[in-house]
Structures are given as structure tokens and as C-alpha cells.
Amino acid sequence: MLKKIAGGVCAAKGFRAAGLHVGVKTHNVNKKDVALIVSDVDCSAAAVFTTNVVKAAPIHVTKAHLADGKARAVVCNSGNANACAPQGEENAEKMCAAAAKAIGCKQEDVLVASTGVIGQTLKVNVIEEGMPKLYSLLKASEAASDAAAHAIMTTDLVKKEVAVETTVGGKTVRMGGIAKGSGMIHPNMGTMLCFLTTDCAISPAMIREALLETAKVSFNRISVDGDTSTNDTCLVLANGMAGNAEITEKNDDYAAFLEALKALCVDLARAMAKDGEGAKHLITCNVAGARDEAQAEVIAKSVISSTLTKAAIFGCDANWGRVLCAMGYSGEQFDPEKVDVHFASAAGDIAVCEQGRGLPFDEDLAKKILTESEVEINIQMAEGDGVCTCWGCDITYDYIKINGDYRT
């Protein structure tokens, strides 16, 4: 049975974590800026990365280190993206080398990530100097996961941390994750970093397959602002310490593992959308009755990515025309005269469009519904049995303020 538990990336057996301010961020010494996650034993590992053609140096290094499908640790800094920067890959490798020396493992078994300002040289020396202390802080505790989660944050207002427990092959399996992401987020790995740990025994090939399947229905279904970052990375490490028979094929054990991984990542994806820069509303778009899932996904993504729809939700304006318009330019062909639209939240549900035409509705009730912090746009297309859910957020004045002076 799948259930949520505490512990984040330290919930699974054999994983320790830490977070520390070493000096990458110079404007606030109280903000942690380097995280370290370490397994007691070697892990099967996999990753998915940004689709942006411009990729940060840590992505190239991590891809190379994952060639054998194995890893032992993850090191990540915030405050500097190490993207399009002088000595980028050299400095990323130096981060791995410093972590490997402290841990006592091979440099190639350390995966690396960075987030922050693009184009500036990473002060890798402060990371190297701070690594012994960071390593000394490693613990297998909820507080340690919390420290790591805070160390990877940039403009995030809240940490993103989840853990779940399930049964695989008769054994209790745990998995946990931390993530960061608030701006530059758009479907197809969107600005996000996510680090997942599990004590499940699963082969490198199968964990990669599971991560690819999971990313499609979680991180690739969120959007904050339409921008896809240079640094987006999601890493998963599985150390096998749960003691289940290793998953090497798509069987019942794989299905149980996949169910848990998807639940974990959907929670983290929703948290990122909800914490969009300056956002006041989490927007969930549910599309049903599409020709198939693929069509439903394209349409739901178009709606949550629509700047005008985001603005309407910010203003608590039940402007369903924005929704139909976003559907219409999605690139998908459908019959607008079959479309129904409802707005819903904890305050109620209201029909605003039926068969492509506006309905008379209570504006006061609609405003009350859209004033809630989490709102739903529910679309029925009456063309098939395809369904999909995507998540986004409203756009506010604060988004402009945050990004107008991001470098300073």
C-alpha cells in the first residue's frame, strides 16, 4: 500500500544528506548554497535533462558520469548556474572531485548539478574548501534532507520535499525526493532540479525506463512562464538496500515501483507549479473526452501556458474565452461546439461554457471560486476517452519584479 512518510531524500535506507552555505551566494550568508546526497553503497542511476539546446556544464559532466548507469552521490550548488560560463565543465568536474575525495569514491560516481545566474564563473574554490565540513554534516535524518532541500533553492519561497513508502516483492521500499523550481519552468523539463533516492533494487535499464515514463506525466506537465532552462535535471539513485529481488523487467514489481515514483514526482511537480515566481494560484487543468491522451495533453498544456488565462486567474476573472482560445491555438483539431468548461475550487464548481457557447452564471460565485489558492479548469471535449491533467500558475506583478532584477 502506497503511503506518504517523512524523511525526504533520507527516507530510503542508506542515504545521507547535508546542506551548507560555503560562499557561492554572497548576498546572504544565511542561505545554504551547496547540497550533498550520498548513498552508503553504489546505486543504479538515471537522469532526464532539459530539452534546451543550450545546456549547462553540469549536464554534460553528469551525462558522461552516468554512462555506466551507476552513481554514488549528488553534489549541487545554487546561486550560479555554471552555464555558458568560463571553465564550466572543468569547474563541474572539480565539484565532483571534491565530493569524491571526501566520500572516498570515484569521481565518475558523483553526479553534479547547478542552478542560478547564467554566464558567471563559478567560485568553485569555495565549494572545494567547504566540502570537508559539508561531508561532516551528512546525516540520515529528516533535518538533513531539509538542509539539502534549502541548499538548492534560488527564487523558491518554499522547499519541495516528499517521501513515500510502498511494497515491492514483499519488501518495504521507500523513496524520497527534493526539488527546486519557481521560474523558467515549461513542459519538457522545466527551471527545475530534482533529486530522487530509493532503496529499491532495480537495474539501471529499468530505473531509466521508469524515470522516463514518470517525467512524461509529472515534470513535463507543468508550466510557470513558458521558458525552459539550461540546467533542468532530474536524477534518481537506487541502492537496493530494501532487499527486494532486483527489478530487471516490466513485471508486477516494476508496476508497484512505477506507481510510487509517479506519485512522488507528481507531488513535487505540483509543488513547483504552486511556487511559481510571484504566483498566487495553483492552476490545475483537467481535460477529458479528448480523442486520446496525446491530444488531451497538448490542449491542457496550451491552457496552463496561456499568458492571458494566467492573467485572468490572477484577477479572479472567470474569462472562459481565454481557455477556449488557448485550446484553439494548441495545434490540435477538435470541434469547439462540443466543448464544456467549468471552473472549480474548494469554494465550489461553476459551469461557464456549454457546447462552445457561454452560459449565464453567478459572477460573485465565480469570483469566490477563483479567489481560492488552488483552482481547477475542467474541460470536457466529448470526442473520445482521452484524459490528461497539467499544472500551472497565474502570472502576477511580482513575476516581473522578481525577473526584472534577477542578477542583482
* CB of 173 closer than 8 Å to CB of 158: no
Domains of the chain: residue spans and CATH: 3-274 (3.60.70.12), 282-404 (3.10.20.340)
Q: Which residues contact 281 (CB under 8 A, 6 or more apart)?
A: 313, 314, 370, 372, 373, 374, 375, 393, 394
At 51 the pLDDT is 82
> Is position 191 annotated as part of the catalytic site?
yes
* pLDDT (tens digit per residue) in 165-215: 999 999 999 999 999 975 444 545 445 899 999 999 999 999 999 999 999
Pair type for strands 233-238 and 222-223? unpaired
Query: Low-confidence residues of the chain, pLDDT below 50?
Result: 183-185, 187, 189-190
At 190 the pLDDT is 47
At 57 the pLDDT is 97
Task: Out of 62, 115, 166, 191, pick the active-site residue.
Answer: 191
State the Cα–Cα distance between residues 290 and 334, nearest whole angstrom.
Answer: 8
Alpha helices in 111-223, H assignment, sequence order: 124-136, 142-151, 204-216
